Structure 1
Amino acid sequence: MTDLNALRDQIDALDQQLQDLLNKRADLAHQVAEVKRAEDPEPVFYRPEREAQVLRRIKERNTGPIGAEEMARLFREVMSVCLALEQPMRVAFLGPEGTFTQQAAIKHFGHSVESVPLGAIDEVFREVEAGAVHFGVVPVENSTEGMVNHTLDSFMNSDLKICGEVELRIHHHLLSGPHTRRDKVTRIYSHQQTLAQCRQWLDAHMPAVERIAVSSNAEAARRLRDEWNAMAIAGDMACELYDLEKVQVNIEDRPDNTTRFLIIGRQDTPPSGRDKTSLLVSGKNRPGLLSDLLRPFREKNINLTRLESRPSRIANWSYVFFVDCEGHKEDPGLTEVLEDLDSDGNTIKVLGSYPKAVL
């Protein structure tokens, strides 16, 4: 007991030191805000590249026993609190509350931001463009089901910039509500993408149950409050928010199921050292167009991480290409690629250069 009390005394002493240091860090953050306001009438408080660099250093220098990922998440919350002292931020996401997009927003910004649920992806774009919120979070692709076309199409008519990305491992659970009679279930609610990601499990275990697509997994969970013959498929956040019971966990067809989300805002992001760039490229329809568009990337040895085509909506059978590549638009190699594409008469729109996902 003497040894145990001594260890507890050491923990209490360390807790006091940690608390003092956290308050010192918060005080420095407040001083940073004052300096920024004195130097610029419209200061930029949120710096994605700076936060990415800090989190990378935390993971690289971590020696355990706390894992590098867990340590970075702890500091993510500390940074979120300190940023709120500089400038309280509002972040819009594809709602309602309890969606994976909200979970991605919290993972990227921490819990100290005000998250604003909106009903559609184009609404998120409009709120950011109008300045009603500082940033928005929208899904862009899933490792199982591919691209989210509404997000790609929204970029065609928007001047917003991509400021960051979030990768979120997606786990889907079969949920029941307080009134659910499990032996009488005739329908399952979930988002269209989720139903597709759980298709094999549903075919094997509930083939005769009707699958009803709704606007979000959170909406599917909400419906169970009043229905006795239905279940829902959703994630942990929706389950907790609506106080549901997990009947079966992790029913997604692929255990590595991951969704990528984009952070959209009105500012350009300087280089962080490990960046990606997203482009929208189009050219006159001709034989070899795609090959010509890809040639400069190959010549400059720049790796493409995504290539997607979408109808341009200008003329029938006319397309634009969404390209993700490694590097920042200010890097010499990528700058030359953009110049080469422009000199060939193509239309280029840089959607943003931003840090690669850290968490």
Structure 2
Amino acid sequence: MRAPVASLAYLGPEGTFTHAAALALPARGTPVPRPLVTDVYDDVATGRADAGVVAIESSVEGYVVPSLDAIVAARDVVAVDEVTVEVAFDAFTHPSAVSPTEVTAHPHGLAQCAAWIAARGLTAVPASSNAAACRDVQPHQVALGPALCGELYGLTTLATGVQDFAGARTRFLLVTDREAARTELASRHDESVSWRMMLAITPHEIGPGVLARITAAFGERGVNMSSLITRPLKAQEGTYVFVVTLDGAPWEPHVRALLAQLLGAGDSLKTLGVFPARAGTDAGFDTSRVPAGSVRAGSDDATVARELLW
């Protein structure tokens, strides 16, 4: 008997950037579109899908909060790989278009094309995905999405490359159930690759110095923290989960020592993902992207006082 074909759930419909990420992982299964990102997590958790692909971070808009919250909350879903997709937006209209008054896309897509939208005075209408916006575009609307969507949904291309920043990328996670992840990762401990890990840290004691204690532990153990984001404990004002991306894997001695130190301090820990580190970090530092109004050593006293409000 032929073995069943593995399935790979992703946020549909066809033509989303998540679909492109799924197609970049052909060995993981046949892509299956799902209407909501929460459906992807649910399908993986219940076994309806063997794995799933979810957007986690945009190089322009930052973390995709609904997806981040979903993986933090998921009891038995964990990331085992990542893939990065170049993000560029074209503007499309319905074949029977009239003068457009609205523009529709996923909220991240709308944000990444804000200047183009503002220049045309269009009213933004959020959609569940960029491809859904293209599929469902109305004659009075402009839809923003990948170039593929024009051909898929028989649309007219109004403009190409309408994103505010060239070279934008979105990072996607490959997620599977925790037991499958344990089995897969156990077979890879000896691989001579660099690893990255996503870790949720929930301190039980709040007050001055909590975050300083946590970050100091990373320094003491020689573990590089490449990203930190806070998410609130639901309906618990002033209490947070710190979601950290670090260089290393939980079976490596220095990372294991860090985890033991945090556990010893009374923190709750949850591994959200362990995956090979991929190339893709921009080389060098572009000072033009520093937030406007920032000051540095050497700024004149009047500017420092104005910007720091001291």
TM-score (norm 2): 0.81
Give the alignment of 1:287-306 within 5 angstroms: 287-306=208-227
Cross-structure match for 1:14: none
Tell me how many residue pairs correspond in the alignment.
Answer: 269
Question: What's the counterpart of residue 173 of structure 1?
Answer: 90
User: 1:332-347 counterparts in 2 under 5 A?
Assistant: 332-347=253-268
Residue 123 (structure 1) aligns with: 39
Could you tell me which amino acid in structure 1 is paired with residue 102 of structure 2? Answer: R
How far has the Cα of 1:86 moved from its partner? 7.4
In the alignment, what sits opposite 1:70?
none
CA contact 2:229–2:243 (8 Å) conserved in 1:
yes
What is the aligned counterpart of 1:144 among 43, 53, 60? 60
Return the alpha-carbon distance in structure 1 between the equivalents of residues 11 and 279 of structure 2.
22
Q: Which residue of 1 aligns with 2:145?
A: 234
| Structure 2 counterparts to residues 5-20 of structure 1, below 5 A | none
1:280 aligns with 2:208: no
1:164–1:357: 8 Å Cα contact kept in structure 2?
no
Counterpart residue identity of residue 305, structure 1: S
CA contact (8 A) 1:103 1:237 kept: no
Q: Is the 8 A contact 2:104 2:143 kept in 1?
A: yes
Q: What are the within-5 Å matches in structure 2 for residues 144-163 of structure 1?
A: 144-158=60-74, 159-163=76-80
Deviation at 1:214, TM superposition (A): 1.3
**Structure 1 counterpart SS, 2:251:** coil
Between the aligned partners of 2:211 and 2:68, the Cα distance in structure 1 is: 19
Q: Name the structure with the higher strand share.
A: 2
1:310-349 mapped onto 2 (5 Å cutoff): 310-313=231-234, 315-349=236-270
User: Are 1:191 and 2:112 matched, yes or no?
Assistant: no
Residues of 2 paired with 1:356 and 1:240: CA distance?
Answer: 34
Q: CA deviation at 1:358?
A: 6.0
Q: Within 1, Cα distance between the matches of 2:146 and 2:43?
A: 26
Match status 1:211 vs 2:119: no
1:258-277 pair list within 5 angstroms: 258-266=169-177, 267-268=181-182, 269=185, 270-271=188-189, 272=191, 273-277=193-197
**What residue in structure 2 maps to residue 46 of structure 1?**
none
Unaligned ranges ≥5, structure 2: 281-310
Give the conservation status (yes or no) of the 8 Å contact 2:103–2:117. no
Amino acid paired to 1:107: A
Q: State the SS of the aligned residue for 1:150.
A: helix
**Which runs of 5 or more structure 1 residues have no equivalent in the other structure?**
1-84
- Match for 1:301: what amino acid? G
What residue identity is the alignment partner of 1:244?
L
Q: Which amino acid aligns with 1:195?
A: L
- Corresponding residue SS for 1:246: strand
Check whether the contact 1:201–1:251 (CA below 8 A) recurs between aligned residues.
yes
For 1:250, the aligned partner's letter is: G
Q: Which has the higher helix share?
A: 1
Stretches (4+) displaced over 6 A = none
Residue 133 (1) aligns with residue 49 (2): yes
Computing the radius of gyration from Cα coordinates, the structure with the larger value is 1
Q: Which residue of 1 aligns with 2:154?
A: 243
TM-score, length basis structure 1: 0.71
SS of corresponding position for 2:67: helix
Aligned mates of 2:279, 2:224 — CA distance in 1: 19
Q: Distance in 2 between matches of 1:87 and 1:254?
A: 42
Query: What is residue 202 of structure 1 aligned with on the other side?
Result: 117
